Structure 1
Amino acid sequence: MQLSPLLPIVYRILQPNFPNCLWNGDRNFKAIALTFDDGPHPQYTPQVLQVLDNYNIKASFFWLGACVNRSPAIAKAVSDRGHWIGLHGYDHRSFPVLSPSELKESLGETQTAIYNACQLLPEQVRDVRPPNGLFTPKTLELFSQWNYRPVMWSVVPEDWVLPGVATVVQRVLNQVQNGSLIVLHDGACGGQDVAATINILIPQLLQQGYQFVTVDTLWQHSKIN
């Protein structure tokens, strides 16, 4: 069963109940954030970078520590281009199943992998998107204690099940609005189509007058930080 029709409803329910998470940017500004989860990937991430380079757009990447360790040169290429880097856990285990010490270790190991690859200090990489979007109030409490910022989403076209490029593009276009936080995947699940998807999506969104910004810019425009 595909979840994409339900995700906008889930978003509208969750957002007001967890106001300290970044779900979207300011609705008064025609700025959106394009984000990618589950990388870096040795094949798919360079393809994404090429498209972003072509349009001179900055995006945000939420990385798995294990993938950074496997592809440090790709990670550095992303960072060197000025894209925003966040954490997605070390190995994509859902955060609610981890003990506090396991969660802290997963995030810390991912920060270490990013530092080794990109020389970004831990305090420069403190945005966290939970794998599968799963979290609990306790998860958010721990993030606050450890000075992490939880980043969620407002547009999730479910590209990881490979519904086809045209379908993913249309789902995004149907849902996008000012401040949208769009989630795509450049990892093993979904990465096959991601470059082709954004190569169609980006010019259409630019034509509609949207400005692409990083997650950090959305935080700066939000009332939480």
Structure 2
Amino acid sequence: MSSKNRVRYIATAAVATAAMAMGVAGCATSAATATSTGQTGPHHASTVPMHPSVPAGSVAPSPTSPPARIPAAGTPTASAAAKGAVPAKGAIPSSFTKVSEGGPHTVNITIDDGPSPVWTPKILSVLAQNHAKATFCMIGKNAAKYPDLVKDVVKAGNRLCDHSLNHDMTMSRKSASYQSQEILEGQAFIDKAAGGTAKAQYYRAPGGAFTPTSRQIAAAHGMRPLGWDIDPKDWSRPGTESIINTVKHELSNGPIILFHDGGGIRSQTVSALQHLLPWLKQHGYGVSFPSQAG
């Protein structure tokens, strides 16, 4: 090889080596970025319970489930997704609400799985006695069955939340069209039962089975995704004292407290609220609603 060709060969090899080094560095940087954002696979961190924006008890999509179908361009869901992280002015964000309308020293009472002809009136009575309001997360079919109870909830100054049509806790592992049906038919049943006096302002997935798709669908139809910060597991009937103590000890978690008026015997929930509402007032806490905008 001539000296001129040898120099040309060495220069070419040096360029190739530098390019390879840059490629490896780029891969390492990409891997580090993916790890820091949680986007290391087909399911991003926003769909798993450990993510701070997902409520405790949420159900992550199964890794074996098919990917959700992407809505066609021009549909409300597609339009909401296209907006990205910053919603248009006046639009409902698809992120979980974490702010209480009443300010930092207020709590948000949320009541799930009703309405119930036995327990909803009892909880309404306790709320009225303590001049408190709550957000009732209703199952669509229950709302259709007991429309007068829905109207009673609204008449007392409480708010409505869509808790899906059938309370299917596996819906996060099902298609986008199925999730949309559960959310929007549940909303329609609740709004109809309210008789035009109010509409569902929030959406809470059954069992916390949220997905990015379900949150976008809800937000595109005027409902803020609603998680929770405190779960005393009253649905499992752990005892009134256990419910009370969990709420007291976890107030620093955030404002949104999860209770139930449907799905079983809720006498412990009623008793716990009878104690907690006066106690909260005595300790300087107000009761407000979750923010739709914050």
Shorter chain as normaliser: what TM range? 0.7 to 0.9
Please state how far the C-alpha of 1:72 moved relative to its aligned partner.
Answer: 1.3
Give the match for residue 101 of structure 1: 177
Letter in 2 for 1:67: N
**Identical pairs, percent:** 26
Give the match for residue 192 of structure 1: 267
Please state how far the C-alpha of 1:27 moved relative to its aligned partner.
Answer: 11
Provide the aligned C-alpha RMSD in A: 2.6
Q: Deviations over 1:129-171 (max 9, x none)?
A: 1110122233333334444321101001111110001110000
Q: Distance in 1 between matches of 2:144 and 2:221?
A: 23
On the 8 A contact 1:157/1:172 being kept in 2, the answer is yes
Give the match for residue 292 of structure 2: 219
Length, aligned pairs only: 208
Letter in 1 for 2:114: G
Please state how far the C-alpha of 1:107 moved relative to its aligned partner.
Answer: 2.2
Give the match for residue 183 of structure 1: 258
Q: Distance in 1 between matches of 2:192 and 2:239?
A: 36
The answer on 1:33 being equivalent to 2:70 is no
Please state how far the C-alpha of 1:126 moved relative to its aligned partner.
Answer: 3.7
Larger Rg: 2
Q: Deviations over 1:70-109 (max 9, x none)?
A: 2111111101111010100011102313322222222222
Q: Distance in 2 between matches of 1:63 and 1:190?
A: 16
Give the match for residue 281 of structure 2: 206
Q: Distance in 2 between matches of 1:197 and 1:182?
A: 12
Q: Distance in 2 between matches of 1:116 and 1:183?
A: 25
Give the match for residue 240 of structure 2: 165
Change in 2 beyond 3 A, CA 1:179/1:90: same
Match of 2:209 among 130, 134, 159: 134
Say which structure, 1 or 2, has more relative contact order (CA 8 Å, 6+ apart).
1
On the 8 A contact 1:15/1:23 being kept in 2, the answer is no
Indicate the larger mover: 99-108 or 20-29. Answer: 20-29
Match of 2:187 among 111, 117, 135: 111
Q: Which runs of 5+ in 2 are unaligned?
A: 1-47, 56-93
Q: Distance in 1 between matches of 2:186 and 2:218?
A: 15
Length-normalised TM-score, structure 2: 0.64
On the 8 A contact 1:30/1:179 being kept in 2, the answer is no
1:77-96 equivalence runs, <5 A: 77-94=152-169, 95-96=171-172
On the 8 A contact 2:53/2:96 being kept in 1, the answer is no
Q: Distance in 1 between matches of 2:206 and 2:127?
A: 24
Please state how far the C-alpha of 1:115 moved relative to its aligned partner.
Answer: 2.7
Q: Deviations over 1:161-205 (max 9, x none)?
A: 100011100000000138510000110236232211100111111
Q: Distance in 1 between matches of 2:138 and 2:53?
A: 26
Q: Distance in 1 between matches of 2:128 and 2:103?
A: 27
Change in 2 beyond 3 A, CA 1:101/1:154: same
On the 8 A contact 2:126/2:274 being kept in 1, the answer is yes
Which SS does the other structure have where 1:102 is aligned?
Answer: helix
